[in-house]
Structure 1
Amino acid sequence: MTRTQELTFQLGQINYEGHTFNCLPIKGEQEVLQVMVSELDAMPIFITITDTQILCITYLCKQNEIQNGKLADLNQTMLELNVAMPLSSFAIIESYYVVFGAMATSSSFDDICKELVTLSANAYDALEAIEEYLV
């Protein structure tokens, strides 16, 4: 059983701080697990496990969804918010703004659950904070 399959099984069995996890494995070059956190399930988290890290990403918006002339202001806002966001950071992947968190592969299952709930909540807060910049 791969680490991703093991995580899928474990997440499907737990209630963490009142949240459950709906998991959907995505086959491809790299195994990816899509996770929806109950009560915060409009923004899926995509998990990839490598030899060195567990990477969790949720997509906020596309760059072309930013109002004309607001890109620099949005980037400044995101840089300012970055430090205040526990366990998460902003990034750009291809043409998407994302919120991500990374953990060591030795992280406990409890830490992984905490990261998923925190990342999901942070993504909601971040989207609310940047909505004035979106078209």
Structure 2
Amino acid sequence: MNNKITLTQLADSLHKSRFNNGAALAPEIIEEDLQVLQVLIQDREEFPVYVTIDDSQILCVSYLWQEQEIIPEQREALLEALLALNIPMPLSSFSKIGHQYIIFGALSTRSDADAILHEIETLSDNTLDAIELMADYLK
């Protein structure tokens, strides 16, 4: 028996959902072949959350800033700050893909739509917090 949620099922569920603050969600599958769901959040459209589901995890990612946006003299301090925030930032971690810094959360493939919604909401909140907290390190 396969209880794993599909990206299409998740998109359908999220269309009907709202965050605790009332913000509406606009989920859209943007990469059919790669199976990527983009979730735009009302009043946070510049920081969408991207969701992928594979055999081992459900991954939720939000893009932060690129390497060239960091004040060069502040890079080491920024990296130290990100490492220090990895533990106290609930349900999210920082990483880097190429020149792009990201914040992400991962869930079990058996997670239901409510758990995924909670992860997306937490990740969206954490994205805004991270950008605010790291503003002094960025151009």
Following TM superposition, where does structure 1 have runs of at least 4 consecutive aligned residues deviating by more than 6 angstroms? none
Q: In the alignment, which residue of structure 1 is the partner of 2:87? A: 83
Structure 1 counterpart of 2:7, one-letter code: T
User: Percent identity over the alignment?
Assistant: 37
Cα-Cα RMSD: 1.4
Contact 1:58 1:99 in 2 (8 A): yes
CA distance in 2: counterparts of 1:58 and 1:113, whole angstroms: 14
Residues 91-119 of structure 1: CA distance to partner in whole angstroms, max 9, x if unpaired?
00111110000000101211111100000
User: TM-score, structure 1 length as denominator?
Assistant: 0.93
Which residue is 2:9 aligned to? 6
2:112 maps to amino acid: S
**Aligned-pair CA distance for 1:5:** 1.0
The answer for the alignment partner of 2:56 in structure 1 is 52
Query: Which blocks of at least 5 consecutive residues in structure 2 are unaligned?
Result: none
Q: Residue 117 of structure 2 corresponds to which residue in structure 1?
A: 113
